[in-house]
Amino acid sequence: MMRRTAGLKPCATSAQEPCAASVKEPCAAPVAQPFEAVKEPCAAPVAQPFKAALTLLLLLTALSLQVRAQVGSDRLLNAAKEARNWLTYSGGYFSNRYSTLTQITPTNAKNLELKWMYQAAVAGAWQTTPLVVDGVMYFTQRPNDVVALDAKTGRVFWIYRHTLDPTQIVCCGANNRGLALLGDTLFMGTLDAHLVAIDAKTGRPVWNTKVADSAAGYSVTHAPLVVKDKVIVGVGGGEYGIRGFVAAYDARSGREAWRFNTIPAPGEPGGDSWKPCPPASSTFCDPDAWKHGGGSVWVTGSYDPALNMTYWGVGNAGPDWNNEQRPGDNLYTDSVVALDADTGRLRWHYQFTPHDRYDYDSVQIPVLADITWRGTPIKAMVWANRNGNFYVLERETGKFLVGKPFVKVNWMDTFDERGRPNQTPQPAGQPTWPGNQGGTNWYSPSFSPHTGLFYVPAWEGYATLFGGTPVEYQEGRNFGGGVNRSYVPVPGAPATPGIRRGPINNWTEAAATGAVLALDASTGEQKWKFPMTDVTDSGILTTAADVLFTGGREGYFQALDARTGSLLWKASLGAQIVSGPITYEVDGKQYVTAISGLSLCVFALRE
């Protein structure tokens, strides 16, 4: 019997090739023509006496499928319990990247093998996280395509291609990190700062809303977050002097429901953190710094249904490195903001790096965990920050509980009782740890309630020589305000590449190395470390069977024992892995994904 996959049937890649599935299922649009109806019937020739009955059956089946919602808000609320699927960017509202699937274990992980592969057409860092819903996989590919395919075989159903505004500007590559889903509608943010709704069964656009002006440097690169009937996104563009915000849009119409500005204006709460320029400043100072103060949001937030709060990490201030021209703490940059999910009203905030001069974006995933802290159960938020510190906050109030370095840190030395760091800027020409890319960055950590450990992809031994220079704001122009160099401890040796690397590793381990760090989620104490030769840009996935999956820039996809860090299995995929793995189940078999270069690779246990 043929397995049904969310109302879709695998279609040919051209209008001439016959479809492969049962004639009783509606056919998705062909890959080569994503917005046109299939012009030829998918069925084989049918005897005339049965044609009317078959037509009626097809019509009734199609209508019944059209009214059945794929993923309602109730399923999203319980996404973490629906282990066979992967319904949100981080696997559930708490953003743990943890699955209760247990078919792949520390004992049998050595038997993993490649089951199918999908090859993308556009070169560049492929950072997406797929969604999987009842046997159908959805993902984005560069620059702003959406692909639907069979999660068991890799057969493509349809491809949607968004046409970008040619004036769009992005700082760090044509990246898109994924999708959100509600009912039968997918949602994607775009490089030209639009939010697009797409029919999940046909690939046809439903609505398209302009979020911001892409010519001014605004973009939407992260996977949206659906909460109730709203789709929440933030805007990127901190390197272009944007004024950042998080906004919610009605899922049916695309109309904006609320907006929270991550850079407050004078007179608004937090506005006084953008101090006026001194009367007689010896260096350039911008009296309107808040108007182009940065505060981008480019990684997906989290949501606590019980508190009705959604949590978002906020990026660096603008300009990135010349902090002297923007006096004050510069809220809400380098902060986590807790917002009322219905209104967008600020409930609380915590700033990790006040008056940032290091480009320490705090856009890392807010991981929500119910843990025991000093003998008391608490609703916590655990966070490995780009600035090199691990944090535990009380997520109802934002109270600071723990701050502890997980890599070498010399930009600060202590915290006060409220969690404010005592900053220790290094002299000119001296290295600052961690460097510009941070002790970790946007790539997802994982929390396993089974082990009580928080797993972080980390850059160790990595430092930068920072230097700020004055820069005046011009719309659409880079607003970095500095020249920085990676610290090279071995004179004349190559430095560690920052965002991307070439095919040959020609730098020494003295410049930097990567690692997976397992930290006690209550204290930040390191329990084990899995070292890598190169630094890592890969996210982490853990399962209830105590298997951890991750990749790295060396091209290895590997399974570790989540309790000990020992290597269970690895595969050389040949290119950098710069996204997070997921796991799902179809027809009783557990699959796990990795994206290496232009290849989406899907593994399962050998038969």
Catalytic residue ranges:
359
Q: Which two tokens stand for residue 590?
A: 């557990």
Q: Which two tokens stand for residue 303?
A: 């949501």
Alpha carbons 434 and 404: distance in angstroms, whole number? 14
**Cβ count near 347 (within 10 Å):** 18
Pairing of strands 376-384, 446-448: unpaired
Task: Show Cβ contacts of residue 7 under 8 Å, excluding neighbours closer than 6 positions.
Answer: 25, 26, 65, 66, 68, 70, 201
Alpha carbons 399 and 380: distance in angstroms, whole number? 10
Q: Which two tokens stand for residue 495?
A: 């430095």
Contact 530, 565 (CB under 8 A): yes
Alpha carbons 458 and 517: distance in angstroms, whole number? 7
Residue 265 half-sphere exposure toward CB, CA atoms < 13 A: 2
Contact 557, 548 (CB under 8 A): no
Alpha carbons 603 and 591: distance in angstroms, whole number? 6
**Cβ count near 566 (within 10 Å):** 11
**Cβ count near 78 (within 10 Å):** 13
Alpha carbons 215 and 355: distance in angstroms, whole number? 27
Q: Which two tokens stand for residue 570?
A: 């690895």
Rg (CA), the chain: 24
Angle at 443 between CA 73 and CA 604, to 5 degrees: 75
Strands (E), 439-524: 446-448, 453-460, 464-465, 485-486, 513-520
Alpha carbons 149 and 31: distance in angstroms, whole number? 10
Helix (H, G, I), strand (E, B) or coil at 59: helix
The number of angstroms, rounded, from the C-alpha of 43 to the middle of its chain's C-alpha atoms is: 41
Helix (H, G, I), strand (E, B) or coil at 383: strand
Find, among 101, 102, 73, the residue nearest to 87 by Cα: 73
Specify the DSSP class assigned to residue 162: P
**What is the layout of strands, in order, in the sheet containing 513-520?**
446-448, 453-460, 513-520, 526-532
Burial 431-452 (b: 16+ CB within 10 A, else e): bbbbbbbbbbbbbbbbbbbebe
Burial class (CB in 10 A: 0-12, 13-18, 19+), 492: exposed
Task: Show Cβ contacts of residue 171 under 8 Å, excluding neighbours closer than 6 positions.
Answer: 217, 236, 237, 238, 239, 240, 478
